[in-house]
Amino acid sequence: MDYDLHAAVPSLEDQITSYLGENPPASRAELCEALGVSRTTLGRAITKLIDAHAVISLKGEEKTGAGRPSTLFTSARSCAYSLGIVISRASFAGVLLNRGGDVLIAQSIPASHPINYLEALDATGALLLERARTRGVITDYVHTIGVGLPVPMGSNVSHSPHSPYPSRESVTDIISRRWKGSILIDTTARLCALSEALWGAGQGYPSILYVRLSNGIGASLVVSYHLSGGDLGFTGELGHMRVPDVHTPCACGKEGCLETLASIPALCAQCDVSSLSELARKVSNRDSRTLSILEHAMDAVGACCANAALLINPRAIIVAGELPEAIPQVSDMLAHGLERELIPAMKWNIDVVRAELGPLAAAQAAAYAATTTASSIKKEHEGTR
């Protein structure tokens, strides 16, 4: 999917929800005056919001000093409008937001391994419903749902019966058992990148290369405030760029991919350790062989980032994932590799920064993306009438 990061012009419905969030309750006349619209235009938008259970009319209530009784409107603050669930190899995270974008429920649990993606989605959905019930959050009118999975979710991925990846249809089926809204499905890395670009380390940068170093290596691109999934949703497969002189077979079917050198499992295998925490311990003990393997691998990541930089000229590279979380030094190592591969004669100005946000922010970005995408599709349809 593509996401426009420019502050979108809020729709009248967005403006009404926002006004009611700050000035509850308000009459029709107050809303018309504050938002500069006619009663007819306001009426149409209010009807849509009431139908969507995002606004409640308090019929017959009178404001102090008013003449005849007038209907007052207030936002349905505890009614969930959008849902976001993001599955990563480390955690399952879910949020429920109201129409104004306030977080009503946020729940993150450590991932159980091995991960069955459909079971993870189902379990996270069930947990959100349970939390919502105990907190009095209404979940019957969820309109938009954003889902992130840590596997390629492009529209053209081939899913044979033996594929370890779930199909888009099976994801839709499992979500539709509990929720009725429109569903957006994307990769976890892209939704994490979206959250960083909107609210985290990427704020204010027009062009970003987001690199996620984890059990795999993924990336996302923001060019001129536009986060693009490409034609089929396959942008950012940085982990499958080939590294010179590396010939290890990759799960993708090729050999010598960056992932076979610099992913967490590849690093653990080269350093003869069984876990990331053991690897981090060796690094903090300044084990020279471990440091040398890590530097070599991050050099290769930096070189691949440089290739990407030569194409898109990012203003910032955001380094994210479990590897930099456990071993923060990898950002500097990557920056060295990057520097070496950029064209010296050009004055490059690329900030290499660490990601700031966690899985709940990615889940929030999923819900946000589902809502904004659904409303932009609606606007397109209205525009073609």
Q: How far is the CB of 241 from Zn ion (least distance, A)?
A: 9
Asked whether 117 and 87 are in contact (CB, 8 A), the reply is: yes
Report d(CA 72, CA 261) in Å as an integer: 62
Q: How far is the CB of 94 from Zn ion (least distance, A)?
A: 30
Interaction between residue 53 and Zn ion (CB under 5 A):
no
For Zn ion, how many residues bind (rule: CB under 5 A)? 5
Q: How far is the CB of 261 from Zn ion (least distance, A)?
A: 11
CA distances from 293 to 193, 245, 271, 283 (A): 27, 15, 7, 10
Element (H, E) at 15: helix 12-22
Nearer to Zn ion among residue 147 and residue 257 (C-beta): 257
- Token pair belonging to 235: 């942008």
Nearer to Zn ion among residue 183 and residue 213 (C-beta): 213
Task: Give the position of tokens 């990759």.
Answer: 250
Nearer to Zn ion among residue 200 and residue 218 (C-beta): 218
Q: How far is the CB of 47 from Zn ion (least distance, A)?
A: 52
Q: How far is the CB of 272 from Zn ion (least distance, A)?
A: 23
* Residue 227 CB contacts under 8 Å (≥ 6 apart), including other chains: 2, 3, 5, 190, 193, 194, 197, 220, 221
CA 139 to chain centre: 22
Interaction between residue 250 and Zn ion (CB under 5 A):
yes
Q: How far is the CB of 238 from Zn ion (least distance, A)?
A: 10
Q: How far is the CB of 288 from Zn ion (least distance, A)?
A: 29
Interaction between residue 240 and Zn ion (CB under 5 A):
yes
Nearer to Zn ion among residue 254 and residue 379 (C-beta): 254
Task: Give the position of tokens 């520097």.
Answer: 339
Nearer to Zn ion among residue 146 and residue 216 (C-beta): 216
Decide: helix, strand or coil at residue 261.
Answer: helix
Interaction between residue 209 and Zn ion (CB under 5 A):
no
Cα-Cα-Cα-Cα torsion 163, 165, 171, 174, nearest 10 degrees, comes to 70
The interface with Zn ion within residues 297-336 (CB under 5 A) comprises none
Nearer to Zn ion among residue 37 and residue 252 (C-beta): 252
Which part of the chain contacts Zn ion (CB under 5 A), choosing from 70-78, 179-187, 253-261, 313-321? 253-261
Which part of the chain contacts Zn ion (CB under 5 A), choosing from 232-240, 271-279, 282-290, 308-316? 232-240
Nearer to Zn ion among residue 257 and residue 266 (C-beta): 257
Decide: helix, strand or coil at residue 365.
Answer: helix
Interaction between residue 120 and Zn ion (CB under 5 A):
no
* Residue 28 CB contacts under 8 Å (≥ 6 apart), including other chains: 39, 42, 43, 46, 70, 71, 73
Q: How far is the CB of 150 from Zn ion (least distance, A)?
A: 15
Interaction between residue 246 and Zn ion (CB under 5 A):
no
Nearer to Zn ion among residue 202 and residue 216 (C-beta): 216
Which part of the chain contacts Zn ion (CB under 5 A), choosing from 254-262, 269-277, 283-291, 327-335? 254-262
CA distances from 46 to 39, 53, 68, 73, 234 (A): 10, 10, 21, 9, 39
Greatest CA separation for the chain = 83
- What are residue 39's phi and psi, to 5 degrees? -65, -35
Asked whether 120 and 107 are in contact (CB, 8 A), the reply is: no
Q: How far is the CB of 234 from Zn ion (least distance, A)?
A: 13
Q: Select the residue interacting with Zn ion from 72, 115, 183, 257 (CB under 5 A).
A: 257
Interaction between residue 252 and Zn ion (CB under 5 A):
yes
Q: How far is the CB of 254 from Zn ion (least distance, A)?
A: 5
For residue 111, count CB atoms less than 10 angstroms from its CB and return exposed for 0-12, middle for 13-18, buried for 19 or more.
middle
Nearer to Zn ion among residue 26 and residue 258 (C-beta): 258
Asked whether 305 and 209 are in contact (CB, 8 A), the reply is: yes
Nearer to Zn ion among residue 39 and residue 254 (C-beta): 254
Residues that bind Zn ion (CB under 5 A): 240, 250, 252, 254, 257
